[in-house]
Structure 1
Amino acid sequence: MSTTPKEEDISRFLAQYPTCSRDTASDFLTVYGNDLEEAIEKYKASEKYLIPVPPFEDDISPSNSSNEHDTRVRTNSLESSQAEDEGIDEYSSWMPKLPTLPVPDRSIASDPPDPYVFELRELLGAIRAGYFDADRIRRYLGYYDKNDLYTQLNETIDGYPAIFYVISTNDIGILREWLKHGGDPNATWGTSAIPAIGFSILHGGQTMLQASKTLATLLRFGADPRVIPKAFYDPYCRDLPEGGPILEELYDINDTNKEWCTEEVREHLTEVLTLSQRYDLYRSSKVMPHSGREKEVLNRQGAGEVLGLHQMIVAQSIATRWLQRKLLVYLALQKKKPFILVFAGPSGHGKTELAKRFGDLMSLELHVVDCTIFKQDNELFGPRPPYTGHEDGSQLNNFLVRQAGQRCIVFMDEFEKTSKDIHNTLLLPFQDGRYEDRRNGKIIDCSKTIWILATNKLDDSIHGFCNANEKTIFHSEDQDAQDKLVEKLCRQLRKEFTGHFGAPLSGRITEIIPFLIFSPQEAAVIAHRTLMDLESEVIQHVRLALNKEEDVYVGNINIRIKNDATVCSAITRDEYDKKTGARSINQAVERMVQDPLVSQYLKDGDEFDENQPITSFVVDVDVDGEVEVRLVT
């Protein structure tokens, strides 16, 4: 029997992983005896090792030489989805070197487990082999007693905390489920007590975005940022000195929880810690601890993850804090009426993003209404009988019916574009939580619906407030002083909202949440997030498909941002527009980084090849302080 893979199997493999090269797909099928299912499973587990990240020749150092070794190991680990964490682990005695775990039978991910027998080693082996995704691990852990899981998930395997193995997979979904079911984000390893967040930063990820999300997830579930010396992230928007902060800045280095952070470790932290990660550490360190009662209310109502809402978006610390506070009061009182919020603020400043992240953390279905396309009541909610089409309802009508009696979110974007007709229809569901199904006239319970009305109508007052209170809002850590100012702003916004939308509607609003403009430092972080998205996009494999619509021309590219705080500040210095927010920053990154990068990349080669070598770029600032994109040859 021939061992040459069939074209049909290669095509099916590439359908599952379109960014994989044809040669790699063929190799996997050959290694695993043309067993398509097994080859795909093994590729999934090994994929994080297959995208090479070469060193930059213009910045040679001992640590970069080690990174070169790390690249070769990760690029050539085809044979085993259980490849050891080599590279940095191999040359650094202080870095945990996780052992290879045996790979169990794949049925572990599909067959219901014995709820009385928990095999941690087997489970971790299966996770590292790629047998589990977030949904499967959630179902698997759901078979076990919640009270027992905390102990079971936090045992050690061969001397290493279980969560270290999970972090090493770079799978954010699995890490989230592990933490939700009781995994300890503050677990430590070794005599110097290397913390989980320290391991996650040093371990890194396939991309900056992946590494950033891993750290943010740990922080969101309660990892203590103070195990990292404060000088590494406060202030966050600066380029760290070569070799790390100077000793005069490291006033907390002798704390017992920082014994792991030796001079050698600090040097490597400086190299790998990105602006986004410094921002996440900074922001987490400023959050006031929540009381036991607050945590219990949220946990019992299935909203425990909302405590980490501040880690989900850039800026809007005040908006997230007010949203958490209002939600706590609403849930604690067990009110049998809708929760109605107004997100007020200029375009591009996080209203939609916060609504989506809020829904994600509460595990709620979210329905987005684009209010610019609905002028009449029957357009948004559907016609009543006997009008034509009443039996079909509308998207919003059918969503409310499907979610009857359950908590869900309706996000109405650009609410100021709606009509008086629509406002009047919303009065009854806003007041009593009752809604009439337009298809049959049946009364539906929507008392648990969370309504979020996003509007730009109050922008002038918000801009004026930010200009008048810049020092307290952007440069003070006094939350009480900030809240007093914002309460005064909200009183003004309520009056304006009433003037624009009428007393009947405004009288049913639970709270107005103001979204403020970005500080210069926050704008820089948003630029960095956009650069991380760009890196994730261009690192994918080049692919020439049978269907040219599926071609990937721009790929096999590695980006390094030198002096990321300086670069991102330079991008936003003159480009951030307070009226359009993040959109103006995204456009600036496209003009100043993406376009010159792609232009140089296209000029660099004669043809596209799925196995073409990596093209490396450095993003930096020139002597005039302008952003430059440099091809590394």
Structure 2
Amino acid sequence: MDADVKYVCKECACDESRAKKLLTLCGNDPRRAVKHHRMLQAMLGKQGHSSTKPQVPTPPTPPPEDDPVSAGLEPGTSPESSSSSTSPSKDEGPVAWDFRLPRLPKEEAIDIIGTAHGNQEYDPFEDIHSQQAPAFNLRELCAAVEHGASFHQIQKYMQGFPTGTVKTRINDTVEGIPSIFYAVESNDPSFLRLWASYDAKVSVVHPASGTPLLAYAIGLSEQLDGCDTSDVVTTLLSLGASPKSIPEAFYQPYNKDLCEDELLQHVDGVDAKAKDADFHYEWQWCHPAFIRRLMVRTMHLTNRYHLDRATRLPRVGIRHRQVAAMRNAKGVLGIPHYLIGQTVAANQLMQKLLTYLTVPSKKPLVLVFAGPSGHGKTELARKLGYLLGLALEVVDCTIFNDERELFGPRAPYYGSEHGSPLNNFIAKNNGKQSIVFLDEFEKTTTNIHQALLVPFDNGEYQDRRSRSTIDCSRTIWILATNALDSKILQFCRANPAILQHDTASSQSDYMKSLSRKLAGELRSSFLDRFGAPVTGRVSDLIPFLPFSKGEQAVVAHKFVLDLAERVAAPVVLGPARDQDMGGTSSGSGGEGQQQLLGNIKLCVRRDASVCARLAKTEYSEDLGARSLFNAVGHVKDRLVESYLDEDTEIEGTSGQPKTEYIVDIRAGEIVVRKEAGDDAGEVY
């Protein structure tokens, strides 16, 4: 018996076999093995286990071969079809998979999540033997993700190893599944982007069935009891996942209701014979009927839109990728995937940022976002900050009449020691990249314009508190304005083709010429409105256009998804808090807050037709998304009416199954009803 085994046996009061298993699990590090054993004992003790010698975890026992229900499969599907340890040959064909990942034992994640320490942050490398570095454990990492580790815990664990070490292992499998599937299972885009930062491949497939990661992200919604996964789907597309890994029949045209019967009967490229020209072997994962039903249920309008849009975006060039990677700005390349509509704005912004990254300037980047309210100006600024990892300061210019209100008085005047939110943000980000978003810039006064000229021109700013010079040359200034709305709307009515990005390529020469023509007209109008000093310092002017009819429906659908998320939360009863009208809203409640409308699974049937109707009724070019938010408010009203029509008291629903409500369209009218038989409880 070697020294390490003896040490573990003594400290853990276990036999030789147990000690060897602990050492194997902990990378042959004796101190880590002892710590793991003690933490596991503490955790099991809290859970009421009487054993003082917990066993090293073993993989879960598979269900009996004659029990497809326990295996999570549809009747008639064999348990072998869910195996993921081997890849099928083309002769054998792919096997069916139920979109469930193996559940890894929680004790394997204990070094990361620190369960035995009362959920306090735990450093797995603390007190480790100085002569023996811990091994990167991919299985432990995936187990931690499955059992609710925070992003910070996962990130800290991965950063504890050399980047090259993590990169060489990140594409390995755990229980036969590529590790990035576990990142997607979290339904958190941050985990997915973290995996991608270590070169995890987003084009991987489930080995046994051939199911692409993108399809898994879509179908995952059903495993999460209807929780929307479109943010993860969008992130995958932005990272390079190919929409063509999924048959086009499921998402083209995006603004058409999916028909389950049609897709069960035939899908081009899937149901063809292997020798036919249109046969796609890579699509055979969706050959089983129950997989097609799953895709129909989870391939909602928003997912269809983003998949369809991704097929129309131009391929990112090699040099574009090289520049973005060298400047640590890969997120720039994903900008077009995160917006609904605004193809002109997204493409123009991406090209301007790539130019700025390729040929840096000592002057800051000053951009004008021009377009009607509610069409994505603020959203794009926030996405830009998120994708580039930059601090963002949003300033509402409607409340400032003087530059001293915006930046604060100069020292030694009264109040100068406090500065202002904008002044302090600029000073805090001295010499760093950051974003300042000046909303409704047309409301600013001439002396505010004068105060901005030096920062815009020289990239220098004087801190009002100390009069010290601040370097803001790397700041991205965004001036958002509605002052040019009439010019934009007039141009779009005269050139309607510029709005048809769902049917025409935004990269055609004609579309590019239209975009340049619009930009020229807007710059001239901006000069007339704001004068030469400000206009001369603007790097580029980005136009935001009205939504097309298809885009209007998708925006409405996004608000429906938000409503579904709010009403899915459990009903919480309790004493009402002091608020107007004596209660809380029916939205999602915080801790200790009532939620009277909840535990609902809101499903939209014929979502393209429903959302097109909402958009047709309510969309306004002047209000944009705000008008569509109001339209979905009518759906909420009908849902509440149907909910309150139940002739029973509202009860707390923690742990109870959700009640399903259906949103549908009948004779051109939106109806909301509880799923309890034909036409039961309908509200028009």
Report if TM-score (shorter chain) is over 0.5.
Answer: yes
Is the contact between residue 73 and residue 98 of structure 2 (CA under 8 Å) also seen in structure 1?
A: no
State the partner residue of 1:367: 393
Report the Cα offset of residue 466 of structure 1.
1.4
What displacement does 1:547 show? Answer: 5.9
SS in 2 for 1:454: strand
Where does residue 641 of structure 2 map in the other structure? 599
Q: Is the 8 A contact 1:141 1:181 kept in 2?
A: no
Structure 1 residue aligned with 2:20:
none
3-state SS of 2:465 partner: coil
Instruction: Say which of 396, 411, 415 aligns to 1:385.
Output: 411
Q: Does 1:565 align with 2:608?
A: yes
2:22 is aligned to none
Map of 2:517 onto structure 1: 488
Query: Is 1:528 aligned with 2:554?
Result: no
The one-letter code sitting in structure 2 at the alignment partner of 1:523 is Q
Q: 1:248/1:367 Cα in 2 relative to 1: closer, same or farther (>3 Å)?
A: closer
Please tell me the residue identity of whatever aligns with 1:93.
Answer: A
Aligned mates of 2:226, 2:448 — CA distance in 1? 44
- How far, CA to CA, are the matches of 1:209 and 1:385 in structure 2? 53
Indicate yes or no: 2:364 matched with 1:338: yes
Deviations 1:239-275 (A, max 9, x none): 1222354748559962343232315233432232100
How many angstroms apart in 2 are the aligned matches of 1:207 and 1:311? 26
The 8 Å contact of residues 542 and 610 in structure 1, kept in 2 or not, is answered as yes
Q: CA deviation at 1:605?
A: 4.6
Q: Distance in 1 between matches of 2:569 and 2:278?
A: 40
Q: What CA RMSD, in Å, does the superposition of the two structures yield over aligned residues? A: 2.6
Which of these two proteins has the greater Rg computed from alpha carbons? Answer: 2
Q: Which residue of 2 aligns with 1:442?
A: 468
**Equivalence for 1:178:** 195
Q: Is the 8 A contact 2:344 2:506 kept in 1?
A: no
Match of 2:658 among 604, 610, 614: 614
What residue is the counterpart of 2:535 in the other structure? 506
Tell me the equivalent position of 1:271: 297
2: CA distance, partners of 1:305 / 1:536: 27
Looking at structure 2, the residues matched to 261 and 248 of structure 1 have their Cα atoms a distance apart, in angstroms, of 9
Structure 1 454/235 Cα, relative in aligned 2: closer, same or farther at 3 Å? same
1:235 is aligned to 253
Shift in Å at residue 174 of structure 1? 1.9
Q: Percent of pairs identical after alignment?
A: 39
Q: 1 CA distance for matches of 2:546 and 2:607?
A: 22
- Compared with structure 1, are the counterparts of its residues 360 and 208 closer, same or farther at alpha carbon in structure 2 (3 Å cutoff)? farther
User: In the superposition, relative to structure 1, how do residues 270 and 340 fare at CA in structure 2: closer, same or farther (>3 Å)?
Assistant: same
Q: Is the 8 A contact 2:99 2:219 kept in 1?
A: no
**1:382 to 1:188, Cα distance in 2 relative to 1, 3 A:** same
Farther off after superposition, 253-262 or 511-520: 253-262
The Cα of 1:169 is off from its aligned counterpart by 2.9
Segments of structure 2 that go 5 or more residues without pairing to the other structure are 1-42, 49-67, 75-82, 85-94, 114-121, 126-131, 271-276, 579-592, 677-684
Say yes or no: does 1:455 pair with 2:481: yes
Task: For residues 93-113 of structure 1, give each alpha carbon's deviation from its aligned partner in whole angstroms, at most 9, with x where no partner exists.
Answer: 333543232322523242145
Task: Give the structure with the higher percent helix.
Answer: 1
Q: Secondary structure at the match of 1:619?
A: strand
When normalised by structure 1's length, the TM-score is 0.83
Distance 2:170 2:456 in 1: 43
Find the counterpart in structure 2 of residue 427 from structure 1. Answer: 453
Distance 1:107 1:605 in 2: 51
8 Å contact kept, 2:301–2:557: yes
Aligned partners of 2:296 and 2:269: how far apart in 1?
Answer: 13
Give the corresponding residue for 2:51: none
Larger mean CA deviation between 202-211 and 509-518 belongs to 202-211
Q: Equivalent residue of 1:188, what SS? A: coil
Higher relative contact order (CA 8 A, sep 6+): 1
Describe the shift of the 1:243–1:66 C-alpha distance in structure 2 as closer, same or farther (beyond 3 A): farther
Superposition deviation, residue 443 in structure 1 = 1.0
SS at match of 1:548: coil
Q: TM-score, normalised by structure 2?
A: 0.77
Tell me whether 1:222 sits opposite 2:240 in the alignment.
Answer: yes
Deviations 1:293-352 (A, max 9, x none): 211221222211121112222111111111110000001102121011000000000000
Quote how far apart the aligned CAs of 1:200 are.
Answer: 1.7
Q: Deviations over 1:346-382 (max 9, x none)?
A: 0000000000011000111100100000010100011
User: 1:369·1:410 contact (CA, 8 Å) conserved in 2?
Assistant: yes
Q: What is the distance in 1 between the residues matched to 2:238 and 2:481?
A: 28
SS in 1 for 2:664: strand
Q: Using the alignment, how far apart are the partners of 2:567 and 2:463 within structure 1?
A: 47
Q: How does 1:145-160 map to 2 (within 5 A)?
A: 145-160=162-177
* Whole-angstrom distance in 1 between the partners of 2:69 and 2:371: 47
35 and 268 in structure 1: CA distance in 2 versus 1, 3 angstrom threshold:
closer
Distance 1:266 1:341, change over 3 A: same
Displacement after TM superposition at 1:287 (Å) = 1.5
**What 5-or-longer segments of structure 1 have no aligned partner?**
1-30, 37-64, 72-83, 86-91
The equivalent residue for 1:479 is 507
